[in-house]
Amino acid sequence: MIDTPALKPGQTEVWITGIGLATSLGEGLDANWAALSEKRINVDEKGFAPYIVHPLMPVSFDSQIPKKGDQRQMEAWQRIGTYAAGLALDSAGIKGNKDILSKIDMVVAAGGGERDINVDSGILTAEAKGANAPGFLNERLMSDLRPTLFLAQLSNLLAGNIAIVHGLGGTSRTFMGEEVAGADAARIALARIASGESDIALVGGSYNGERKDLLVLYEFGDFNLKDKFAPVWARKDHPGFALGSAGAFLVLESKAHAEARGAKPFAKLSSVVADLAKRKQPGDMTATLEKLWDKLPRREGKGAIITGATGAEPATSDERDFLKNHADFPVRSTGTVFGHAMETQFPLGIALAALSISRGALFPPNDSTGTEIEMQGPPTQIVVVGAGHWRGEGMALVEAI
Amino acid sequence: MIAPRDKLGRPVVVVTGMGIMTSLGAGKSDNWAKLVAGESGIRTITRFPIDGLKTTMAGTVDFVSADPFSSTALSERMAELVTQEALEQAGIGAKADFPGPLFLAVAPVEVEWPQRRELGRAVGQQDITYDDLLRISGGGKFSAYHHRFMFGSVAAYLAETFGTKGSPISLSTACASGATSIQLGVEAIRRGETDAALCVATDGTVNPEALVRFSLLSALSTQNDPPQAASRPFSKNRDGFVMAEGAGALVLESYEAATARGAKILGVIAGCGELTDSFHRTRSSPDGKPIIGCMNKTLADAGMTPDQIDHINAHGTATPENDKMEFNTTSAVFGELAQKIPVTSNKSMVGHTISAAGAVEAIFSLLTLEHQRIPPTINYDNPDPTILFDVVGNKARDARVTAVMSNSFGFGGQNASLILTREPA
């Protein structure tokens, strides 16, 4: 009812004409594709031990964020996102194109809240040592917080920074809500373009997985992968996700708009659907994934699945039950390779689906359990799956043109 | 007879239920009575110590309890209460079975100080690092904190409680969030994806760190005494906004669906518009073009001309920059009419409810249409001579109001406007 399951009469086809990636495997499409093809994985088992993270492959932020002043006004998650957004605009061939950038619609999936961990631990330490005056917290926050940190904590300031750095003057909406926010961002952008409300949109997100404050948040629920890395499908007895730093942005565009400017598409985004399973009983999430699968347009080509399965339980087991029902679709897990980038995981999945279609091959499996199998020949349809570690399920269909 | 489609051939979107809560009280009746009486909800903060703070007042909602308390828990509880009020009025769907999606404007969620201090105490030593916090966070003792501090937690709770359909969207466009939630609902109905949408906006974030953050950006009024006089939109001596809490909920429906079930129509969302400002993170482009463009887009979306707007519910934060910018941009769009159309700022009384403001003020605009009475802008004793709005100063004014423009502008270059009418244009 509120999805974009298939084109209705009068709706326009939506193409993916730009992709920007900055991940633990590197920046740009070639570096990421090469690493995927060579089955490389970049994990840090020591820096946050016993927790495992996929650190961002260092990039030169100057190339996309030329003003140091802009870089200083952001924290890492925003720099990663602003950088990846610039790559996506470059990839679509619209970087600096004022006519298009002045009307582009942005839908960003974001978290936020990056802490200054020195300020936090300083205050907690002083309080543990007896500082208990009523105004102690106020005074320390007034003196210790950097004024600009607030702007790095606001979810919508990723979009704000992208607009400032790359000169975007259309509209800007920020969706929050962990993994499914990424699916909803794509869903709404697609619906708006398909219905003619919008011609072109920048959609995506970014995540800094190298944050102890985030590890604390997920440790509350024992969601962090500890001690030893293993592929997502091999974590059943040792569940959890390894946070991954990543920025992934897409340029979505109506076919007519893309053709008019001679843009070459990677693939088309045919449908995005999302739901909120109750997850009260085992299998609730599996049923919701089946329901979403049925909402996607008929699949008749050579299909594959790219999933953002987290490795956390019970969500990953429920998803595995869903995948077993569709065993004719070779599966790839982005969580194994890139780690878990939360709001960014779904846009990352769409990006890799579009890239695989445009390169005429699904990247090879990276799994010791046999869940991921080889795929022969070029994929023409890829279903992107994103089931949140706690709540929210999304699915997209990316197709060859 | 009213046409079920607008000038652009889209379904007309109407409001059939509203719920509201501010520092003035709970519900439409109480809020409206106090608003037109010119009462202020701003008071000295009692929720936490104010020692060492430059700003010591806010428009807190202290009459609602959330246990265990956190800003997110209060936001959730307020959202639940206003949604109940809106659904009761709309009489739509069945209990826990709302026939459409949820669009929720909510402040970014984060672990707060009371919880962080609880972790600190659990560490049980004098030197505390994040590694120590990490060591004691797992094992299930704090699993409730995970659920509480997920960004999607409030939306998930509301979706489950009220049985909204599909994936609920949590959104933030800073101070324009409430307007954006309404816009998302309007668009979903216009696209024909649904006949109804639940648009909710909530903000309960008056806590020490949030207050300090705005203080460090010099955005807040420091006229603490008396607190009721702190928020001074359009006054010469205005010195910043006053943080406040509140929530608003609107049930939107297509005109066709609403009339088919015999629902009472409270008003029409005739137009929505938004435009990004890429000038600066916290300041508007000096030429005002993005705000001008936003208002013009909204007029175009409603298929209306400036002379059809007979009241402006201003963003009116009472920061020196905003109010001046708002007058200049409104003048650019409305010409001389900008000095004739009555303008008011609800923030003079309820403060700035941040993520909720767009929805709260849309509801006040709809109540203005219903009662044909414009609530005052209080504390308007010393008008800024450079702001030539016809401000409805200090006393409510009876007026013929057929179409209201409600503006919201936020950090990160977020601008959104709505046009609300009594009947379809």
Q: Quote the distance between the C-alpha of residue B351 and its chain's center.
A: 10
- In a mutational test of the A interface, the residue from B8, B213, B253, B278 whose CB has the highest number of chain A CBs within 10 Å is B278
Best A276, A288, A292 residue to mutate vs chain B (most B CBs within 10 Å): A276
pLDDT of B110 over the 60 cut: yes
In angstroms, the CA B63 to CA B75 distance is 13
Question: Tokens standing for B200?
Answer: 């909710």
pLDDT digits (tens, 9 = 90+) for A14-64: 999 999 999 999 999 999 999 999 999 999 999 999 999 999 999 999 999
CA B363, B366, B368, B370 torsion-angle sign: negative
CB contact under 8 Å between A137 and B160, yes or no, is no
d(CA B380, CA A310): 55
Q: Which residue of B has its CA nearest to A147?
A: B216
Mean pLDDT of B273-291: 94
Shortest CA distance from A179: residue in chain B: B152
Q: Which of B126, B191, B282 lies closest to A129 in CB terms?
A: B126
Residue B309 in this model has a pLDDT that exceeds 80:
yes
- 């043109």: which residue's tokens? A401
Q: Report pLDDT for A10.
A: 74
Segment B33-40 mean pLDDT: 98
Place B2 in a pLDDT band, splitting at 50, 70 and 90: low
Measured between beta carbons, which residues in chain B are less than 8 angstroms from residue A172? Answer: 173, 274, 276, 412-414
What CATH topology corresponds to B13-110+149-421? Peroxisomal Thiolase; Chain A, domain 1 (3.40.47)
Q: What is the pLDDT of residue A11?
A: 87
Best mutation target, A138, A142, A166, A342, to test chain B (most B CBs within 10 A): A138
Structural domain boundaries in chain B: 13-110+149-421, 113-148
Smallest CA–CA distance from A49 into chain B, residue:
B131
Identify the active-site residue in B199, B272, B294, B352.
B352
Alpha helix stretches (DSSP H) within B237-287: 255-260
Q: Which chain B residues have a beta carbon less than 8 Å from that of A137?
A: 49, 113, 208
Alpha-carbon span B226 to B56, nearest angstrom: 11
Q: Of residues B272, B294, B311, B315, which has the active-site annotation? A: B315
Across residues B30-55, what is the average pLDDT? 98
Cβ atoms within 10 Å of A262's Cβ, excluding its own? 7
Residue B294 appears among annotated catalytic residues: no
pLDDT at B424 over 90: no
* Percentages (nearest 5) of helix, strand, coil residues in chain A: 40, 20, 40
- Which residue type, as a one-letter code, is found at position B391? V
Q: Among all residues of chain B, which has the CA nearest to that of A211?
A: B130
**Pairing of β B311-313 and β B403-410:** parallel
CB contact under 8 A, B52 and A275: no
* A128 contact residues in B (CB cutoff 8 A): 120-121, 123, 125-128
Q: Inspect the interface and report whether the beta carbons of B274 and A172 lie closer than 8 Å.
A: yes
Nearest Cβ partner of B212 from A113, A141, A276? A141
How confident is the model over A283-336, as pLDDT tens digits? 999 999 999 999 999 878 889 999 999 999 999 999 999 999 999 999 999 999
Q: Taking CA atoms, what residue in B is nearest to A187?
A: B167
Local confidence band at A7 (pLDDT 50, 70, 90 cut-offs): low
What are the chain A neighbours of B143 within 8 Å (beta carbons)? 220-222
How high is the mean pLDDT of chain B?
Answer: 97
In this prediction the ipTM stands at: 0.98
User: Is beta strand B397-398 parallel, antiparallel or unpaired with respect to A246-254?
Assistant: unpaired
pLDDT of residue A292: 98
Give dist(CA A324, CA A194) in Å, integer.
Answer: 32
Instruction: HSE, CB side, 13 Å, CA atoms: give it for residue B184.
Output: 35
Q: Which helix (H) or strand (E) holds A215?
A: helix A212-219
Provide the strand spans (E) within B147-237.
169-172, 196-203
Nearest CB neighbour to B134, from listed A2, A129, A212: A212
Backbone φ, ψ for residue B330 (5° rounding) = -65, -40
**Domain A14-113+154-399: which topology?**
Peroxisomal Thiolase; Chain A, domain 1 (3.40.47)
**Which candidate from B140, B142, B188 shows the least CB-CB separation from A2?**
B188
Q: In b/e form, how buried is each residue of B191-220, taking b as 16+ CB within 10 angstroms?
A: bebbbbbbbbbbbbbbbbbbbbbbbbbebb
B147 given a catalytic annotation: no
Q: What is the pLDDT of residue A3?
A: 55
On chain B, the residues whose CB falls within 8 A of the CB of A139 are: 51-52
The percentage of residues in chain B with a pLDDT greater than 70, rounded to a whole number, is 99
Longest dimension (CA), chain B: 74
Question: Which member of B147, B175, B272, B294 is catalytic?
Answer: B175
In order of A94, A119, A131, A394, the CA distances from A122 in angstroms are 46, 5, 11, 40
* B156 vs A170, A195, A391: nearest CB: A391
Average pLDDT, chain A: 96
Query: What average pLDDT score do residues A111-121 get?
Result: 94
Q: How far apart are CA A42 and CA A13, in angstroms?
A: 36
Q: Give the pLDDT band (50/70/90) at residue A1.
A: very low
Confidence at residue B425, expressed as pLDDT on a 0 to 100 scale: 57
Domain ranges of chain A: 14-113+154-399, 117-149
Give percent of chain A above pLDDT 90. Answer: 94
For A224, A246, A256, A341, the CA distances from A48, given in Å and listed in that order, are 11, 17, 48, 16
